[in-house]
Amino acid sequence: MTLFKVLHYPHVLLRKKGTPVEKFTDELREFLKNFINTMYEFDGGGLAAPQIGVSKRIFVVDFKPVFESDKFEYTKDCFKVFDKNHKEIEPKFPMVFINPQIVEKSEPIKVNWEGCLSFPNAESFNTERFLNIEIHAQNEFGEKFSVKSSHLYASVCFQHENDHLDGIMLVDRWNKNSFSEADIIADIKDFENDPAERKRMKKIKVTEASKIKFDFL
Protein backbone atom coordinates (compact mmCIF):
# COMPACT_ATOMS: atom_id res chain seq x y z
CA MET A 1 0.00 0.00 0.00
CA THR A 2 1.23 3.47 -0.91
CA LEU A 3 0.24 6.56 1.03
CA PHE A 4 0.51 9.90 -0.70
CA LYS A 5 1.69 13.15 0.85
CA VAL A 6 -1.17 15.62 1.36
CA LEU A 7 -0.14 19.12 0.33
CA HIS A 8 -0.77 21.95 2.76
CA TYR A 9 -1.74 25.52 1.95
CA PRO A 10 -0.16 27.59 0.39
CA HIS A 11 1.57 24.92 -1.77
CA VAL A 12 1.62 26.10 -5.39
CA LEU A 13 0.16 22.85 -6.81
CA LEU A 14 -3.04 23.40 -4.85
CA ARG A 15 -3.76 26.31 -7.19
CA LYS A 16 -3.29 24.30 -10.39
CA LYS A 17 -6.56 23.39 -12.12
CA GLY A 18 -7.20 19.72 -12.74
CA THR A 19 -7.52 18.44 -16.29
CA PRO A 20 -10.07 15.79 -17.35
CA VAL A 21 -9.19 12.11 -17.12
CA GLU A 22 -9.27 10.48 -20.56
CA LYS A 23 -7.51 7.16 -19.89
CA PHE A 24 -9.26 4.74 -17.54
CA THR A 25 -6.38 2.35 -17.00
CA ASP A 26 -5.42 -0.33 -14.50
CA GLU A 27 -2.85 2.09 -13.14
CA LEU A 28 -5.61 4.64 -12.54
CA ARG A 29 -7.56 2.06 -10.55
CA GLU A 30 -4.47 1.14 -8.53
CA PHE A 31 -3.83 4.84 -7.91
CA LEU A 32 -7.41 5.23 -6.66
CA LYS A 33 -6.95 2.44 -4.09
CA ASN A 34 -3.91 4.22 -2.67
CA PHE A 35 -5.66 7.58 -2.93
CA ILE A 36 -8.59 6.28 -0.89
CA ASN A 37 -6.24 4.76 1.69
CA THR A 38 -4.56 8.14 1.96
CA MET A 39 -7.92 9.78 2.69
CA TYR A 40 -8.54 7.25 5.47
CA GLU A 41 -5.02 7.55 6.91
CA PHE A 42 -5.51 11.28 7.40
CA ASP A 43 -9.10 10.92 8.68
CA GLY A 44 -10.71 12.73 5.78
CA GLY A 45 -14.29 12.49 4.56
CA GLY A 46 -13.12 13.53 1.11
CA LEU A 47 -9.92 14.16 -0.82
CA ALA A 48 -9.24 15.71 -4.22
CA ALA A 49 -6.36 14.75 -6.51
CA PRO A 50 -4.81 18.27 -6.56
CA GLN A 51 -4.38 17.93 -2.78
CA ILE A 52 -1.72 15.28 -3.41
CA GLY A 53 -0.19 17.11 -6.35
CA VAL A 54 -2.01 15.24 -9.13
CA SER A 55 -3.72 17.83 -11.31
CA LYS A 56 -6.58 15.67 -12.58
CA ARG A 57 -10.32 16.04 -12.09
CA ILE A 58 -10.73 13.32 -9.48
CA PHE A 59 -12.00 13.25 -5.93
CA VAL A 60 -13.08 10.54 -3.50
CA VAL A 61 -15.52 10.68 -0.58
CA ASP A 62 -16.84 8.44 2.17
CA PHE A 63 -20.01 9.64 3.87
CA LYS A 64 -20.91 6.33 5.55
CA PRO A 65 -19.61 7.29 9.03
CA VAL A 66 -21.55 10.56 8.87
CA PHE A 67 -24.72 8.91 7.57
CA GLU A 68 -24.54 6.40 10.43
CA SER A 69 -23.97 9.05 13.10
CA ASP A 70 -26.50 11.34 14.74
CA LYS A 71 -24.66 14.55 13.87
CA PHE A 72 -26.40 15.07 10.52
CA GLU A 73 -29.89 13.73 9.89
CA TYR A 74 -29.85 11.17 7.08
CA THR A 75 -32.69 9.61 5.09
CA LYS A 76 -32.54 7.75 1.79
CA ASP A 77 -34.47 10.56 0.14
CA CYS A 78 -31.72 13.10 0.84
CA PHE A 79 -28.96 11.18 -1.00
CA LYS A 80 -29.73 9.31 -4.21
CA VAL A 81 -27.35 7.68 -6.68
CA PHE A 82 -28.26 6.87 -10.29
CA ASP A 83 -26.40 4.69 -12.80
CA LYS A 84 -25.68 5.52 -16.46
CA ASN A 85 -29.23 4.46 -17.36
CA HIS A 86 -30.67 6.85 -14.74
CA LYS A 87 -31.75 3.92 -12.58
CA GLU A 88 -31.50 4.53 -8.85
CA ILE A 89 -28.88 2.34 -7.17
CA GLU A 90 -27.71 1.82 -3.61
CA PRO A 91 -24.87 4.15 -2.53
CA LYS A 92 -21.60 2.28 -1.96
CA PHE A 93 -18.71 3.90 -0.14
CA PRO A 94 -16.05 4.99 -0.71
CA MET A 95 -17.21 6.74 -3.88
CA VAL A 96 -14.94 7.82 -6.73
CA PHE A 97 -15.83 10.90 -8.79
CA ILE A 98 -13.90 11.35 -12.02
CA ASN A 99 -14.54 14.36 -14.27
CA PRO A 100 -17.35 15.56 -11.96
CA GLN A 101 -19.70 18.37 -12.90
CA ILE A 102 -22.14 20.06 -10.56
CA VAL A 103 -25.08 20.60 -12.90
CA GLU A 104 -27.65 21.94 -10.43
CA LYS A 105 -27.50 23.71 -7.08
CA SER A 106 -30.12 25.53 -5.04
CA GLU A 107 -31.00 26.82 -1.56
CA PRO A 108 -28.01 28.89 -0.41
CA ILE A 109 -26.71 28.15 3.10
CA LYS A 110 -23.85 29.22 5.35
CA VAL A 111 -21.69 26.75 7.26
CA ASN A 112 -18.90 27.40 9.76
CA TRP A 113 -17.51 23.89 10.24
CA GLU A 114 -15.94 23.21 6.85
CA GLY A 115 -12.54 21.60 7.34
CA CYS A 116 -9.81 20.57 4.91
CA LEU A 117 -6.84 18.21 5.01
CA SER A 118 -4.82 20.93 3.28
CA PHE A 119 -5.57 23.30 6.20
CA PRO A 120 -4.65 21.22 9.26
CA ASN A 121 -4.98 22.97 12.61
CA ALA A 122 -6.51 26.04 10.94
CA GLU A 123 -9.61 27.77 12.26
CA SER A 124 -12.76 27.55 10.13
CA PHE A 125 -14.92 30.50 9.09
CA ASN A 126 -18.31 30.95 7.42
CA THR A 127 -18.55 29.50 3.93
CA GLU A 128 -21.45 30.03 1.53
CA ARG A 129 -22.65 26.81 -0.09
CA PHE A 130 -25.84 25.23 -1.48
CA LEU A 131 -27.93 22.56 0.21
CA ASN A 132 -29.34 20.90 -2.92
CA ILE A 133 -26.81 19.50 -5.36
CA GLU A 134 -26.90 17.37 -8.50
CA ILE A 135 -23.52 16.10 -9.63
CA HIS A 136 -22.60 14.02 -12.69
CA ALA A 137 -19.36 12.04 -12.90
CA GLN A 138 -17.63 8.86 -14.05
CA ASN A 139 -16.40 5.96 -11.96
CA GLU A 140 -13.03 4.21 -12.13
CA PHE A 141 -14.10 2.37 -15.31
CA GLY A 142 -15.33 5.49 -17.08
CA GLU A 143 -19.00 4.65 -16.53
CA LYS A 144 -21.27 7.64 -16.00
CA PHE A 145 -23.40 8.08 -12.88
CA SER A 146 -25.05 10.90 -10.97
CA VAL A 147 -25.94 11.88 -7.42
CA LYS A 148 -28.71 14.08 -6.08
CA SER A 149 -28.06 15.32 -2.57
CA SER A 150 -29.95 17.44 -0.09
CA HIS A 151 -27.87 16.10 2.80
CA LEU A 152 -26.01 19.00 4.40
CA TYR A 153 -22.64 17.32 4.96
CA ALA A 154 -22.58 15.51 1.60
CA SER A 155 -23.62 18.57 -0.41
CA VAL A 156 -21.01 20.78 1.24
CA CYS A 157 -18.34 18.12 0.76
CA PHE A 158 -19.13 17.81 -2.96
CA GLN A 159 -18.77 21.55 -3.45
CA HIS A 160 -15.59 21.65 -1.37
CA GLU A 161 -13.86 18.84 -3.26
CA ASN A 162 -15.02 20.19 -6.61
CA ASP A 163 -13.47 23.56 -5.69
CA HIS A 164 -10.10 21.84 -5.33
CA LEU A 165 -10.30 20.71 -8.96
CA ASP A 166 -10.41 24.36 -9.99
CA GLY A 167 -7.66 25.49 -7.64
CA ILE A 168 -10.14 27.19 -5.30
CA MET A 169 -9.21 27.18 -1.60
CA LEU A 170 -11.21 27.78 1.56
CA VAL A 171 -9.50 31.15 1.95
CA ASP A 172 -11.15 32.17 -1.33
CA ARG A 173 -14.58 31.35 0.10
CA TRP A 174 -14.13 33.05 3.46
CA ASN A 175 -14.85 36.73 4.06
CA LYS A 176 -11.48 38.46 3.76
CA ASN A 177 -12.26 40.62 6.80
CA SER A 178 -12.87 37.60 9.05
CA PHE A 179 -9.38 36.09 9.12
CA SER A 180 -5.67 36.72 8.71
CA GLU A 181 -4.01 34.63 6.01
CA ALA A 182 -0.71 34.95 7.86
CA ASP A 183 -2.33 33.45 10.97
CA ILE A 184 -3.80 30.59 8.92
CA ILE A 185 -0.39 29.76 7.46
CA ALA A 186 1.23 30.03 10.90
CA ASP A 187 -1.30 27.56 12.33
CA ILE A 188 -0.52 25.11 9.54
CA LYS A 189 3.24 25.49 10.13
CA ASP A 190 2.73 24.86 13.85
CA PHE A 191 0.95 21.63 12.96
CA GLU A 192 3.71 20.54 10.58
CA ASN A 193 6.42 21.28 13.15
CA ASP A 194 4.69 19.57 16.04
CA PRO A 195 7.04 16.78 17.26
CA ALA A 196 4.24 14.21 17.41
CA GLU A 197 3.14 14.99 13.85
CA ARG A 198 6.71 14.89 12.54
CA LYS A 199 7.20 11.51 14.19
CA ARG A 200 3.95 10.21 12.73
CA MET A 201 4.81 11.37 9.22
CA LYS A 202 8.20 9.73 9.43
CA LYS A 203 6.60 6.48 10.54
CA ILE A 204 3.97 6.21 7.79
CA LYS A 205 6.40 7.09 4.96
CA VAL A 206 4.35 9.06 2.45
CA THR A 207 5.11 9.26 -1.27
CA GLU A 208 5.04 12.48 -3.31
CA ALA A 209 2.49 11.68 -6.02
CA SER A 210 3.51 14.74 -8.05
CA LYS A 211 6.82 13.00 -8.87
CA ILE A 212 5.17 9.88 -10.32
CA LYS A 213 4.45 9.69 -14.06
CA PHE A 214 1.10 7.90 -13.99
CA ASP A 215 -0.17 6.60 -17.34
CA PHE A 216 -3.52 8.39 -16.97
CA LEU A 217 -2.02 11.88 -16.74
pLDDT in tens, 156-196: 999 999 999 999 999 999 999 999 999 999 999 999 999 99
Distance between CA atoms of 124 and 116, rounded to whole angstroms?
A: 9
How would residue 71 be classed by pLDDT, with cut points 50, 70 and 90?
confident
Mean pLDDT of 11-20: 99
Q: Report the pLDDT value the prediction gives residue 73, as an integer from 0 to 100.
A: 81
The SS3 assignment for 115 reads: coil
In this prediction, residue 67 carries a pLDDT of 94
Instruction: Check residues 133 and 1 and name the one with the higher pLDDT.
Output: 133
The confidence band for 75, taking pLDDT boundaries of 50, 70 and 90, is: confident
Q: Which residues are identified as catalytic? A: 161
> What one-letter code names the amino acid at 184?
I
Specify the pLDDT at position 72. 80
Class of domain 12-208: alpha beta
pLDDT recorded at residue 190: 97
In degrees rounded to 5, what are phi and psi of residue 60?
-130, 150
Give residue-wise pLDDT tens across range 97-122.
999 999 999 999 999 889 999 999 99
Strand bridging mode 88-89 / 79-82 = antiparallel
Q: Is 136 annotated as a binding residue?
A: no
Which are the contacts of 158, defined by CB distance < 8 A and separation ≥ 6? 61, 100, 102, 133, 135, 147, 149
pLDDT score of 76: 85
Over residues 112-136, the mean pLDDT reads 95
86 is in an annotated binding site: no
The percent of residues in the chain predicted with pLDDT above 90, rounded, is: 94
Whole-number percent of the chain with pLDDT over 70: 100
Residue 157 to residue 63: CA distance in whole angstroms: 9
* 160 marked ligand binding residue: yes
Residue 157 three-state SS: helix
Does residue 28 have a pLDDT over 90? yes
What is the average pLDDT score of the chain? Answer: 97
Q: Which of 64, 37, 130, 144 shows the shortest CA–CA distance to 100? A: 144
pTM of the predicted structure, to 2 decimals: 0.96
Q: Count the neighbouring beta carbons within 10 Å of the beta carbon of residue 149.
A: 23
Please give the Cα distance from 119 to 42 (Å, whole number): 12
Contacts of 81 (CB under 8 A, 6+ apart): 88, 89, 90, 91, 145, 146, 147
pLDDT at residue 70 greater than cutoff 80 = no
